[in-house]
Amino acid sequence: MRVFIAIACVVLACLSGRAVQADSKKFDPEKFSQVMTIFDTVVIYPASSWQDERGLKASEYYRNAQPASFVFEQIPKGEKFESWSKLYAVAGFKLPDLDLEAFARASVGIYIQACATDKLKVQTVFAVDKKIMVIIFCEDFKSTPNNIGYKAGIGEITLMLLTQPFKTHLKIYQHWRGDSFDAADKSSWPVAEKTLQMMISRFAQIQTTQAK
């Protein structure tokens, strides 16, 4: 779900495919990383679930930079931002009056408005060291006036890491969207459990440093 809380701003948006090797047979997406400087924080985050030997050419990109927020999104090459099946993003916000827990509640709260009644489930993977990782199961969306991207009959699973290592609130997330599903029935999910576990492992290795 593409949502913008305040509006964004960034200094540098640079991608680094550190593990894109000349020999595609040796390509390892686990060693592919992306680097983004957002306000006072440098974020080193992993490859998307669909990353392959095409490197940066494996995705379509969207960037929105504003004075108080920033978002950088990518979807599989050939898909459209109005009708994607997978979306991966990093976002940052200047929210001086909000602590990390409140930021997490606001981030999850968006789904309370979007998902159909009794169709939202949230699982906390961990909450330690100024980091919160959650899995959000929106089994079925509500119908919306424009029905762009999501509507009744469509479901979405989101893996999200929220953190505030310095002053900037950060959100790194991947969505998987498909037909409505039953969270208790993994065979109905829009993402394979193995893929979700792979991304949980990758997200756990996200690093941040203070920008100079």
pLDDT score recorded for residue 8: 31
Does some domain include residue 134?
yes
Does some domain include residue 182?
yes
pLDDT score recorded for residue 2: 42
Please provide the DSSP assignment of 77-135 as one string: TT--TTS-SEEEEEEEE--TT--HHHHHHHHHHHHHHHBPTT-EEEEEEEEETTEEEEE
Does some domain include residue 7?
no
Per residue in 32-83, pLDDT tens?
999 999 999 999 999 999 999 998 899 999 999 999 999 999 999 999 999 9
Does some domain include residue 5?
no
Contact 81, 89 (CB under 8 A): no
pTM score above 0.75: yes
Is the per-residue pLDDT at 20 higher than 50? no
For the chain, percent of residues with pLDDT exceeding 90: 76
The DSSP letter of residue 143 is P
Does some domain include residue 127?
yes
Q: How confident is the model at residue 14 (pLDDT cuts 50, 70, 90)?
A: very low
Q: Looking at residues 198-205, what average pLDDT do you find?
A: 97
The DSSP letter of residue 8 is -
Per residue in 156-197, pLDDT tens?
999 999 999 999 999 999 999 999 999 999 999 999 999 999
Does some domain include residue 193?
yes
pLDDT score recorded for residue 147: 53
Which is nearest to 36 in space by CA: 75, 107, 91? 91
Q: Identify the CATH number of the domain in which residue 68 sits.
A: 3.40.1000
Per residue in 82-133, pLDDT tens?
999 999 999 999 999 999 999 999 999 999 989 988 999 999 999 998 999 9
Which is nearest to 127 in space by CA: 204, 196, 184, 202? 204
Does some domain include residue 1?
no
Does some domain include residue 146?
yes
Structural domains of the chain, count: 1
Tell me which residue range forms the domain holding 148: 12-210
Residues written for the chain: 212
pLDDT score recorded for residue 149: 62
Contact 198, 30 (CB under 8 A): no
